[in-house]
Amino acid sequence: MSDCIDDRIEGNFVFLAVRATDGSGRRAGVDLPMDPDELARFEGEQGLMAPSDYRIDGYSKDGIVGRMGFAPFRDDSPLEDVNLLCRAVDAASRSDPHAADKVAAWAECWEVDDPRVLAGVAVRSADIPIHRYSRPRGMDDLQWRGLDPLGRLGASMSEERGLYGALRSGGVADSFDYAGYAYAAREDDDRQMWCSDDGYIVDADLPNMPPLSARGLEDAVAALETGAAVMDPADPTNMAVTAAESGRAL
């Protein structure tokens, strides 16, 4: 993929630049997420009727890209799939503020960059737990609030491992490098951990979630957006059933 676009698009999840593959050099930009019908109109107006007609040629660093820390799509990903992922994360974040962090951790853990698969993870993000940081007893609130997420993880680990008491006794608790400690401790730990603003995610909580059917995924995203529930358990593509079973059983 060619480049990032530094301009932040206020109020939009991500801005994508697409380049036509017909040799004309034509480029167009689109803000996602958007209504699927509006996206279809955009593609028609630009003459981009099939994924083979274009490549994603650039993207902004804000929105989903900024929150996840990487572009969760390939240059040949269909716009419809990227839009579905943006819609899914946007909708899931209304009830789960850690949805983007969980999808990012899952994507890295399982080495997946397919936006449809990641959209399926987003709609099931509530099944992935977040472990809250724990401020060590004796650490003042000002120091705690001054730590970045990795530092808070390190402080939490120092308390769990009995180190913080020794640091306080030695008079170095206020100057200790908690972020550096967390980084080193993670290297020696059998677990993989990903930091969020107020908690962390571990690899043991990231099950292999199989891709959902096209119908089930579309229904689930739409249900999240409207707050509706898909309630037909006899339908094997039913997201409400599939999400619960996949998130807990695998």
Query: pLDDT digit string (tens) for 77-123?
Result: 999 999 999 999 999 999 999 999 999 999 999 999 999 999 999 99
Q: Provide the β-strand partners of residue 33.
A: none
Q: Which of 36-40, 138-142, 223-227 has the lowest mean pLDDT?
A: 223-227
**Residue 110 and residue 224 in one domain:** yes
Domains held by the chain: number = 2
**Residue 174 and residue 211 in one domain:** no
Distance CA 39, CA 87 (A): 12
**Residue 106 and residue 221 in one domain:** yes
pLDDT at 244 over 60: no
Q: Which of 29-38, 113-122, 182-191, 227-236 has the lowest mean pLDDT?
A: 227-236
Query: Among candidates 19, 120, 22, 33, which has minimal Cα distance to 75?
Result: 19
**Residue 233 and residue 109 in one domain:** yes
**Per-residue model confidence (pLDDT) at position 107:** 93
**Residue 10 and residue 71 in one domain:** yes
**Residue 197 and residue 109 in one domain:** no
**Residue 141 and residue 211 in one domain:** no
- Over residues 111-160, the pLDDT tens digits come to 999 999 999 999 999 999 999 999 999 999 999 999 999 999 999 999 99
**Residue 138 and residue 191 in one domain:** yes
**Residue 53 and residue 161 in one domain:** no
Contact residues for 173 (Cβ-Cβ < 8 A; gap 6+): 136, 138, 139, 164, 167
Phi, psi of 66 (to 5 degrees): -65, -40
Distance CA 115, CA 89 (A): 11
> What is the model's pTM?
0.81
Distance CA 32, CA 15 (A): 6
Distance CA 23, CA 5 (A): 22
Higher pLDDT residue, 149 or 235?
Answer: 149
**Residue 200 and residue 99 in one domain:** no
Q: Which of 26-35, 130-139, 188-197 has the lowest mean pLDDT?
A: 188-197
HSE toward the beta carbon, residue 190, CA cutoff 13 A: 1
Six-digit token string for 216: 């089930």
Q: In what order do the strands lie in the sheet with 54-60?
A: 3-5, 54-60, 14-20, 27-32
Distance CA 171, CA 149 (A): 23
In terms of residue numbers, what domain contains 138?
Answer: 131-204
Average pLDDT of the residues in 57-83: 88
**Residue 31 and residue 147 in one domain:** no
**Per-residue model confidence (pLDDT) at position 229:** 60
**Residue 122 and residue 31 in one domain:** yes
